[in-house]
Structure formats: C-alpha cells, structure tokens
Copies of this chain bind each other. A is one copy, B any other.
Amino acid sequence: MPRSVDNNARQASFETIKAIARQQMIENGTAGISLRGIAREMNITAPAIYNYYPRLDDLITALLVDAFNGLADAIDKAIASTSNQRDQMIRASNAYRNWANANKSDFQLIYGNPIPNYEAPREVTVPLATRPLVSFYQVMMQAYQQGKLSIPPDYASVPKNIEDFVAGFLYPQYPQTAEMPMSLYYLMTLLWTRIHGIVMLEIFGHLEPSVGDVDTFFSREIAIFLDNLGLS
C-alpha cells in the first residue's frame, strides 16, 4: 500500500499558489501571472510548481473556476440572508457590486480582457458562467408567481427575434424556467447590464469622479428598477 499522502499540506499549497497568483493579477494585471514569480514568493524553485499545476493554463482555469463560484456564492448568500423578495434583489445586486470591488482582478478575469494565449476549456467554463445569474432569475420568477411583481407595459412584449432566440435555449436547457414569461427574462437581463455598467465604470475609477457617492447612485438605480416592477 502506498504511503498516505499529507493531503492537508498539499491542499494548502494549491490554495497558496492561487492566492499568490491573485495577488500578481492585482499588481500586474490579469496577464501578469508568472510561475517563477509564484515560486519566488513561496521560497521554492520554479519547477516545484509543476507538482501542482502542470501548465500555467491549468492554474488560470482554477482561478476562473474559483472566481465564478466566488461571485455566485456571494450572490446566493446575499439572497439567503432575507426572505423579502425586494430585499433579495437589492442584496444580490449589492453582492455583485461588492464582490467585484473586493475582487477586482477576479472580476476582470471573468468579465474583462481575455488572457493572451489562454483558451478556457468550454466544458468547464460555460456552465459555470451562468451560475452568478441563476439565483437572480429565481427570485424574479418566485415574486412573479406570487403576484408580487408585474411587468411594466413598456416591456410587455419582447422583440420577436430575441424571443425566438432565447426560447431556443432557455426552456430546453433550463426546464425550471418553463413558466417564466419572456418579459421577465428580458427585464432581468436588462438589470444585469445596468448593474454591470455601473460596476465596470466604478472598478476602473471612472464613476466616482462623476458622482462622488457611487453607493447611493447604485442603490437608486436598483430601487427605481424594482419600483417599476411594483416589487415592494
């Protein structure tokens, strides 16, 4: 029988490597990860890293997975923290924004420049990419089914080609959405783009100089959106 590996220490090294890589992204951009730099930081020689991540790409993939899950977990946790659906939407939106600000480089890794010469493995990445948004959709859906949310007249109809496109993947791939009106999907996607726009400008320092108090600016945008749905 082989000797029992010290899995705790090994696991800790995996985490240390990722943590240093994250630090490197903060300091040198998402393209600034370097195996040799990580080794230096760990007081280890560079080839030792290969015992954990056989290629630089494997490390980047691990960071991507962590980032998607981290953002999604933050949102899920925010939603779980209350049962009022308006509060759930507000807290989930705040979670998106706060996570982005607290984890700028991870957020860029997900939603910003692709890393040169790195190709994400689609079978890992594509299902994960939807995770941050699904809980948002669920809350909207629940509120709708309970009659606490109504679709504003402006959005009652969805452009035919968008409707066809979305229906082509949404209902087949996500059976739980079978009773979700297309307008609800449309509105939620719109909310996503609005949240994302504020967050993207904010994390790169373009919004604060324009409004001073991004907190209030952001909260108002979310609140008015929810008001328009009658979700109180």
Contacts and interface: CB of A to CB of B under 8 A. Distances in A.
Interface of A: 27-32, 108, 111-117, 129, 154, 159, 161-162, 164-166, 186, 189-190, 192-198, 200-201, 204, 206-207, 210-213, 216-217, 220-221, 224, 227
A76 B217 CA distance: 27
Contact of A207 (B112, B193, B217): B193
Which of A186, A220, A221 has the largest count of B CB atoms less than 10 A from its CB?
A220
Contacts of A186: 211
A216 B112 contact: no
How many copies of this chain sit in the oligomeric assembly? 2
A165 B29 contact: no
B112 A112 contact: yes
Contacts of A206: 111, 129
A162 B196 contact: no
Contacts of A190: 217, 221
28 contacts: A28-B117, A29-B31, A29-B113, A29-B114, A31-B32, A31-B116, A32-B116, A108-B112, A111-B201, A111-B206, A113-B113, A113-B204, A114-B204, A129-B206, A154-B224, A159-B216, A162-B216, A166-B210, A186-B211, A189-B210, A189-B211, A190-B217, A190-B221, A193-B201, A194-B197, A196-B197, A196-B200, A200-B200
Contacts of A32: 31, 116
Judged by DSSP, the binding face of A is: helix
Contacts of A217: 159, 162, 189-190
Nearest to A168: B212
B200 A162 contact: no
A212 B154 CA distance: 20
A162 B112 contact: no
A211 B169 CA distance: 10
B162 A113 contact: no
A193 B197 contact: yes
Given A116-B28, A116-B29, A198-B193, A216 B111 contact: no
A108 B200 CA distance: 11
A193 B224 CA distance: 15
Which of A211, A221, A224 has the largest count of B CB atoms less than 10 A from its CB?
A211
